[in-house]
Amino acid sequence: MHIAVLMGDDSPEREISLASGQAVAAALQARGHQVDALEIPQVRDVLSLGGLQEVDIVFPALHGGLGEDGHLQALLEILQVPYALSGPLACALAMNKTAAKRVMQGAGIPTPDWLQVAWDVATGQPCARTSNAVTAAEAQAEALSLDHLLDRAENELGFPLVIKPNAAGSSVGVEIVRDRDRFGAAFQQVAAQTRDILLERFIPGREITATILLGRRLPLLEIRPRQGFYDYANKYTPGASEYLVPAPVHSPVYEQISDDALRVFDLLECRGVIRVDFRLEDSRYYCLEANTIPGMTATSLVPMAAAAVGIEFGAMLEDLCREALARDRAGDPAQL
């Protein structure tokens, strides 16, 4: 196959995208495929890339931002270029954490309680609901202060709680707040990065992740950071975390988590491979989010789960490309 691996973009996860893209390109080349490793400064630059129409399949290795939230996938469909992994709808739903949580909640999949806040950095207040307000003054009167937000978070979620961007990955910008005194500074730190903010009840316990590969449940994997929580540094620093696969989780909870990961795959209409993240508290588990373009670096979780059942990294990537190419040749409708 002639495969173009796309990487780069200008999201906060650019460096991880480059690492994933280079690893994917090298593994596919080692399998004997013709591979073009294409670094793009921004997602819109895909429109001016020459030669995409000549490749058999595109493998997206962009993490976060417009590369993973459906924009890139929509552009590739407009260009009529076949690509691996999920389509625009699945990517958009998965990247928007609150949208995915609403789908989970509606399907009875446990997910931590949350509040979504659209924050206006300029005014230091939640964005006013101008569409429902008669005047700007009335809209301003509707806005909650940070103190009111703190009271609501404490009453509805309790402490500790998590503050994070609603549409980002790799634990970028995540703050764990353990008491009222820390809330304001942590919230403003996240608000400086994005106006779309998710407040979520903190679930103590174990970090469990599930991989769904071509509709198949791979072994659950447990992550044990050597210190702190599974943040950006612990994810991408070799040796910073311990990984157990299969995860030492007793039945029937193991099977229930695996089943719900597959349900998320189906509910969001995903394709190819996804990683679904959970927290396990005693025998109760909660689904946090789904990742439609999971990391493909040396410390990434999906390759570990695949290796545990004898699926070599390059073979997995090859299967993903072949599945996407077969789907395109069969005329599968676009996920718009």
Of these residues, 170, 241, 258, 300, which one is catalytic? 170
Asked about 259 being catalytic, the answer comes back as no
Q: Are 197 and 187 in contact (CB under 8 A)?
A: yes
CA distances from 104 to 168, 237, 275, 290 (A): 18, 31, 15, 11
Q: Which residue has the tokens 């469990």?
A: 208
- In angstroms, rounded to a whole number, what is the distance separating the alpha carbons of residues 6 and 24? 10
Nearest to 267 by CA among 57, 39, 90, 124: 90
Asked about 13 being catalytic, the answer comes back as yes
243, amino acid identity: Y
Asked about 291 being catalytic, the answer comes back as yes
- b/e 59-94 (16+ beta carbons within 10 angstroms → b): bbbbbbbbbbbbbbbbbbbeeebbbbbbbbbbbbbb
Angle at the Cα of 67 (from 37 to 110), degrees rounded to 5? 125
Phi/psi for 88 (5° steps) reads -60, -45
CA distances from 45 to 9, 16, 91 (A): 9, 19, 19
Q: Is 204 exposed, middle or buried (0-12, 13-18, 19+ CB in 10 A)?
A: exposed
Asked about 251 being catalytic, the answer comes back as no
Of these residues, 9, 13, 231, 260, which one is catalytic? 13
Of these residues, 68, 291, 314, 323, which one is catalytic? 291
Asked about 166 being catalytic, the answer comes back as no
Asked about 295 being catalytic, the answer comes back as yes
Asked about 45 being catalytic, the answer comes back as no
Of these residues, 295, 300, 318, 323, which one is catalytic? 295
Of these residues, 289, 314, 318, 323, which one is catalytic? 289
What is the full DSSP assignment across 274-311? EEEEEEEETTEEEEEEEESS---STT-HHHHHHHHTT-
Asked about 11 being catalytic, the answer comes back as no
Q: Which region, left, alpha or beta, applies to residue 310 given φ > 0 means left and ψ of -120 to 50 means alpha?
A: left
Of these residues, 196, 222, 277, 323, which one is catalytic? 277
CB atoms within 10 A of CB 292: 27
- In angstroms, rounded to a whole number, what is the distance separating the alpha carbons of residues 59 and 273? 12
- Active site residue ranges: 13, 170, 236, 275, 277, 289, 291, 295
